[in-house]
Amino acid sequence: MLLGPSLAVSAILFTLGVVGVLLRRNAIVIFMCIELMLNAVNLTFIALSQQLGLDGQVFVFFVMTVAAAEAAVGLAIVIAVYRHKDTVNLQRINLLRG
């Protein structure tokens, strides 16, 4: 039931996330794009759980929990970076440069 459209929406969402991560410079936007990808995956899980059992739905809970934790930690890091660098533009932040 609506499996095809659901998967299509999820694919679109995921692609949007990927493209956003690749193209945007702002750390917060990138972060939101990552969330977008996670939710695209969640949607896939739920859509497929109709046919494959409840395991997928359980996974969604896990993903949401992890995403929440990630949001807390990630945003904290972004704020810490902002305090040091006065920017959240990732092109200006290359501390890991070899």
Nearer to another protein, 21 or 71 (CB): 21
Does 98 participate in binding another protein (rule CB under 8 A)? Answer: yes
* CB-based contact 10:47 (threshold 8 Å): yes
Task: For residue 97, give both structure tokens.
Answer: 């440069």
Q: For another protein, what does the binding mask look like between residues 11 and 50, x meaning CB under 8 A?
A: -------x--xx--x----x--------------------
Nearer to another protein by C-beta: 20 or 56? 20
Dist CA 98 CA 94 (whole Å): 9
Instruction: Give every CB contact of residue 66 below 8 A, 6+ residues apart in sequence.
Output: none
Applying CB under 8 A, the site for another protein has a residue count of 13
Coil/strand/helix, residue 94: coil
Footprint of another protein (CB under 8 A): 18, 21-22, 25, 30, 90-91, 93-98
